[in-house]
Structure 1
């Protein structure tokens, strides 16, 4: 097939997307496809409007890629693409709203408080969560803009920093535990959870450096969880994927508390990283799919929904 790969983009996750795009392009070429690579920029939509391809693989991360906007454009142009549509993409990108769907299905979510730039006042707004508090932009990925506040000064600085990236800021209770993630794959109604991946960062927290720096985190597959914990995160990963209306693939992040209580679902990533150090390829490898085979499988699954 002739496949266009959209990568790069203009979000804070551009560098990650450049790496993902390179891997996706090489994998598709090795599988015999004719590939057109496009470093996507919303100011140059004519590149997309003129596309004459069989399929688009979206290798973007963050805004103008993972939030449903590109998907809406491709829908209007009647161009098939890999992955989730407009609704699933937009809902998953909005962490605060997505958590309402997770809780509705019975998953445990972290206590949260949502702040809006238009109404937030550092002197008047009451923060109801106890320290430490996790501060994050509501619609950024790759841990960009996330800080951990242990006192009022750190909280104020973290909120200000997060507001530089987003109009909405999410405050969450800090939960001490191990980070795990569950890859989900399949057409609607046939989604399966892949083996759970445990993330052991070299840094104190699983931050941007730990996520993308070579050797800065260890991925253990399958994760060192009890059978009950494994079943829990796999079950709620699929339910979260379905509740948001996601399609083909996603990666769902959890925290497993040290106290043995139920795992906490954090977010759904509809366009998970596909870099050499990314988690989704690790999970696929555990079920016997090489990186190239995984990319090909996602293309095939996506073709099914357009039949």
Structure 2
């Protein structure tokens, strides 16, 4: 089978995507797949490169806008090329944090809910004061904690909002919830071992903590049975409510035994320091086995959706 590993892209997460793609290429089983790296530098690249490569499956190593938001998934569907992970709808929903939070709240899932501003025209520090400091300011459709800031007071607020607005037209301002940081990786509807996260050099799990060597301590955590069940139910409810398929990662803050879902990632990072491969390893899966499972499940999912011929 000829697999195209699609990476790069035009979002703020391009560098993380290139790292993900490099790691995936390194671990793909060459006895099973012919691997074709496909680096996207601009929107027009995708269709031309994919058609030229003649691939059987697109293994998506993209992150952020034009990659994780359903755009690339829709283009590949138009070309009739199966791809890994969730479909167009789930990708779009999960990329839009405000919309996904509204849906999760309607399903009874706890999630931080604050303000959503449409640019600097909505800037109103009094509303944030009512929300209560500290707050988290973030782009509505960002990822990898890029453009996300922990704001302690009104003096820091404007700069943080302007930076987030430079990356997205919509800005989220949410209460900063302290507690135990957890991540739940889900593959084929199964929650893998839950990881607890502790940033080593920062107050919260920011970009440096996520991607720098030694930036965070991440290990399987043993929760009390009742709490473990609550966390798994919150993760799975989020996964299903947002129509995710094949795999995803749900980020959670556990506060006083109540899980608060922060976001759902439909194309979680797969770098050497990423959480999904670590969780899979704790479940006894090698990186190569994880990729095999994602590929097989994605082909099955696209077949179910499209009624297409199964690839072998």
Q: TM-score when scaled to structure 1?
A: 0.94
User: Aligned residue for 1:53?
Assistant: 55
Alignment equivalent of 2:282, drawn from 276, 280, 286: 286
**Within-5 A mapping of 1:250-265:** 250-257=248-255, 260-265=256-261
Alignment equivalent of 2:99, drawn from 97, 100, 105: 97
Kept after mapping to 2: 8 A contact 1:31/1:296: no
User: Aligned residue for 1:298?
Assistant: 294
Unaligned runs of 5+ in 1: none
User: Aligned residue for 2:238?
Assistant: 240
SS at match of 1:219: strand
User: Aligned residue for 1:194?
Assistant: 192
Moved more, 225-234 or 129-138: 225-234
Distance 1:197 1:264 in 2: 15
Distance 1:85 1:224 in 2: 32
Distance 1:205 1:267 in 2: 15
User: Aligned residue for 2:150?
Assistant: 148
User: Aligned residue for 1:212?
Assistant: 211
Unaligned runs of 5+ in 2: 304-309
Shift of 1:246: 1.1
Moved more, 198-207 or 113-122: 113-122
Kept after mapping to 2: 8 A contact 1:162/1:169: yes
Alignment equivalent of 1:273, drawn from 269, 276, 286: 269
Shift of 1:184: 0.8
SS at match of 1:289: coil
Per-residue displacement from partner, 1:29-76 (whole Å, max 9, x unpaired)? 445310110111313231134341111100001111000000000000
Shift of 1:177: 0.8
Per-residue displacement from partner, 1:147-170 (whole Å, max 9, x unpaired)? 111111111111111101100001
Shift of 1:28: 1.8
Per-residue displacement from partner, 1:240-270 (whole Å, max 9, x unpaired)? 111111110000000012xx14111100000
Q: Alignment RMSD, CA only?
A: 1.5
Per-residue displacement from partner, 1:58-102 (whole Å, max 9, x unpaired)? 000111100000000000001011100110000000001101121
Distance 1:119 1:295 in 2: 45
SS at match of 1:180: strand
**Within-5 A mapping of 1:3-82:** 3-40=3-40, 41-45=42-46, 46-82=48-84
